[in-house]
Structure 1
């Protein structure tokens, strides 16, 4: 445990040092700081992963003093044979691309160009596994020319040297050897200024861990293997990572779509750190609603925290064409007259997810709580189909402010094509949690015990007083397809054992109070009549 914490501390120090370098060269809080920090960290991780795997495959290289020089001295055929023996998901690097080589040659002229060229070559040579693909099929570059973000060209060499010096200070290789599982924690620290549940610069990509854990644990209560997991608006991948951890990274493949290049880059880094490199080619940068890359494919597990409201008026009419009618069976929200940005795009994501489920598919979708009770419109049509098709497994209404970046009340909709229509679980968890303040924001935090309470009650399909009810398909239809647990809670009447004398005493008390009210009423009637009689026309 002490060694584990030591590695975490060193890694966080590295991240802080990289941010310090950016600040020292005028890039602190700059729009490009995110790219520099995450890409340099990824380069470091890939460099150390390659070194670790090569040393495992060729143990005599582990003892050499200068690893990059020893690798460079190998005959080309031997090097190619060594690289080919590595797992397909391990990065392929050449000796001159290693951090140690750049560190030893940092005093050569035009070092910034050498640094940028090195990263460019790594991008090209590892594009098949590590690049993100767009809808058109074009692949992105794994690394940018990072030194070019320094506007003063005379400072670029020094900036590149400063970065390399920080990367050279320690190695991840010991972490790989010990197989510590803390890279999820490192990822969150790495992007904490850009993507946090307390409302960072890019908090719109973030789903609180508590919500992600609850969704994953309810969806996957038992061990499974060989499944396909999908998020149509993945952000940085919090939901997908929780789902993969619950299933087991080696037991699933990850697929995702997102319109944002920034969020796709976050997800790529998250996959690398969490042992899911094999799924990077499945990350697609696209507009999932207008240009779905995986439209013809089906998935076993789907998770989503879609944008609730967004202006999609530019392509709204295109969605009504014949090719989209089957997917958007309940309809397409109209263009809002006052605020286009208030268009309910999440309704399209729900329908897209329903279309994308495999024969035995399951899904968990974050929705605004208003969706579960709306009496008309697209919302009602979607709920009707879920119930009539027998796909509704249940709903959990979360506490308010569980998302720091929004005050909207949210619920999680659980779908299962093999759901038990006699055991639908509706849960109102709005009273759980503790409100905490983080800077200017406040949010509701669920304890681990409360998370377990929600998961256990849902998976056990049990009614818990003031928390959950278990209803049938017919009961939901009788309630006009409402998914709100509160509408199904029983009104409880408390009975007290009292004697005949106590009963008579209470009745006498009721009679006395009624008589006093009647007397007061008569007095008011008389006074009102007298006031009316005194009225005169002037």
Structure 2
């Protein structure tokens, strides 16, 4: 599929949001649009797969199949290969057609049928390997919610409208690369994030930041056994890593139910097989779900300065993730708790790159103790990268990327990069945005470990120790711009000329006042 075709698909999918504006609030219709796109994808995938199994049979079109024995056989194969099953009468096209059939003999009321189908998708996986990946996947599609219509008829009309619109779009799953539709889905998630205000940070990391993190953790690697995101949101960071290297297994954890469902949908839409990913719903710090595993690559954009139980719960003092550092991260700032958690799960040959607020670089007390231990005792800090302010949805604060490695090739220095200054980004609307060249410059500087005037500096561990392990980037990267010398003689001459001009103006003004017969202001 060409870039033009890809953009056309993105435009078609986004068109449904424009169709619903003014009828349902954006926060409400997001879940319905993304959920129904996913249902259509599952339907088309089921249809295509069933037709390949029917080749050579008397009935070669799955939509026309009635034979119960053949249906059972296709169900068994589908559950093994696809992880779910849909009967011909449960396909997206069938329910959309019913929504259009408002005749005397047949009603276009589809809400109950649709609810039953979505439940069936989840129930079809019961007792199979894919059960956890499909369990309660459509929870957020509440077809009885008054948010989409005050009456049953109004709700039905809105749902019929959404299905009709989507039914006209050909996903062309048999012709396109597996991640083209996934990328279009990702585009939609990004568009929704752009308009979601403060809640956007819960489920989406700007694409260019994701690209930096992904390129860093895949440095020197074409294949990764595993990639992990402890606060995975919609899963966009995990999937971005797969664009830089072949990934065998994806792991993530997400606390918010709606976002957890979105992450699983996003994985499947990108063609990630249900056996290749494990996304869990839980609080990562309180109930880590993959603690016995170690990961070759870790990427994250944790919630900035989140609250956690910390010192309120004695168990954390003996938790192997935190106990060796001597102090726990403050209860009101869990940034270092997330960092320690990720480092604990990092494989010996792994790289961790995560976004944090700037405070992790210089705040003292417990955070200063933890920071010093990471640098002096463990020597795992590999790079600190300052990003422009106002590039994340929902917050304008400046942020940084911290890179940790257990086995550092150059273990006597740390690379500092200041990509926050003018010329390192562009302004798009109310947001600042990194361009492709800005991303490449950051990544190239990290990989080459070069000192570039007013942009980067390779600091020795001794220099960092001299700064009391304060990592504030201006201590290492001097971006000060000297002002031009002022010619005081020229300034004096300009003032004399100005004084002469003022006196001349006064004389003229006095003359005008006399002509008008009014008093002068002097």
Matched, 1:427 2:427: no
- Does the 8 Å CA contact 1:15/1:41 hold for their aligned counterparts? no
Work out the CA distance in 2 between the residues paired with 1:387 and 1:88: 50
- Does the 8 Å CA contact 1:284/1:293 hold for their aligned counterparts? yes
Q: Structure 1 pair 206/490, CA: closer, same or farther in 2 (3 Å)?
A: closer
Work out the CA distance in 2 between the residues paired with 1:17 and 1:63: 35
Deviation by residue 1:202-227 (Cα, 9 ceiling, x = unmatched): 34432222221111112212334351
Equivalent residue number for residue 153 of structure 2: 154
Matched, 1:418 2:412: no
SS at match of 1:290: coil
Deviation by residue 1:180-214 (Cα, 9 ceiling, x = unmatched): 74335412342345323884753443222222111
Work out the CA distance in 2 between the residues paired with 1:105 and 1:404: 40
Deviation by residue 1:421-457 (Cα, 9 ceiling, x = unmatched): 124222222224234142xx2x322222222111112
So what's the TM-score if we normalise by structure 2? 0.79
Matches within 5 A, 1:27-426: 28-29=24-25, 31-59=27-55, 67-69=62-64, 72-77=65-70, 79-80=72-73, 83-84=76-77, 88-89=81-82, 91-106=84-99, 107=101, 108-109=106-107, 110-126=109-125, 128=128, 139-142=135-138, 146-149=142-145, 150-172=149-171, 174-179=172-177, 181-192=179-190, 194-196=192-194, 199=197, 202-248=200-246, 251-278=247-274, 282-313=278-309, 317-318=312-313, 320-321=315-316, 323-324=318-319, 326-330=321-325, 331-335=327-331, 343-419=332-408, 420-426=410-416
How far does residue 418 in structure 1 lie from its aligned partner after superposition? Answer: 0.8
- Does the 8 Å CA contact 1:380/1:481 hold for their aligned counterparts? no
Q: Structure 1 pair 280/159, CA: closer, same or farther in 2 (3 Å)?
A: farther
Q: Which of 417, 425, 436 does residue 427 from structure 2 map onto?
A: 436
- Does the 8 Å CA contact 1:346/1:367 hold for their aligned counterparts? yes
Equivalent residue number for residue 457 of structure 1: 445
Count, aligned residues: 469
Work out the CA distance in 2 between the residues paired with 1:132 and 1:85: 16
Deviation by residue 1:4-59 (Cα, 9 ceiling, x = unmatched): 53454245324423663x558x4x10653222111111001111122223334444
Q: Structure 1 pair 357/156, CA: closer, same or farther in 2 (3 Å)?
A: same
Work out the CA distance in 1 between the residues paired with 2:208 and 2:432: 10
Work out the CA distance in 2 between the residues paired with 1:353 and 1:295: 10
Q: Structure 1 pair 388/87, CA: closer, same or farther in 2 (3 Å)?
A: same
Q: Structure 1 pair 260/452, CA: closer, same or farther in 2 (3 Å)?
A: same
- Does the 8 Å CA contact 2:380/2:405 hold for their aligned counterparts? yes
How far does residue 316 in structure 1 lie from its aligned partner after superposition? Answer: 5.1
Deviation by residue 1:138-162 (Cα, 9 ceiling, x = unmatched): 9424355643124412344444433
Q: Which runs of 5+ in 1 are unaligned?
A: 336-342, 495-508, 510-538
Work out the CA distance in 1 between the residues paired with 2:314 and 2:121: 40
How far does residue 407 in structure 1 lie from its aligned partner after superposition? Answer: 2.3
How far does residue 117 in structure 1 lie from its aligned partner after superposition? Answer: 0.7
- Does the 8 Å CA contact 1:264/1:285 hold for their aligned counterparts? yes
SS at match of 2:388: coil
How far does residue 262 in structure 1 lie from its aligned partner after superposition? Answer: 1.8
Work out the CA distance in 2 between the residues paired with 1:129 and 1:23: 40
How far does residue 60 in structure 1 lie from its aligned partner after superposition? Answer: 5.4
Work out the CA distance in 2 between the residues paired with 1:491 and 1:240: 34
Work out the CA distance in 1 between the residues paired with 2:143 and 2:419: 49
Q: Structure 1 pair 155/44, CA: closer, same or farther in 2 (3 Å)?
A: same
- Does the 8 Å CA contact 1:130/1:281 hold for their aligned counterparts? no
- Does the 8 Å CA contact 2:140/2:258 hold for their aligned counterparts? no
- Does the 8 Å CA contact 2:223/2:245 hold for their aligned counterparts? yes
Q: Structure 1 pair 5/201, CA: closer, same or farther in 2 (3 Å)?
A: farther
Give RMSD over aligned pairs: 3.4
Work out the CA distance in 2 between the residues paired with 1:212 and 1:427: 17
- Does the 8 Å CA contact 2:385/2:416 hold for their aligned counterparts? yes
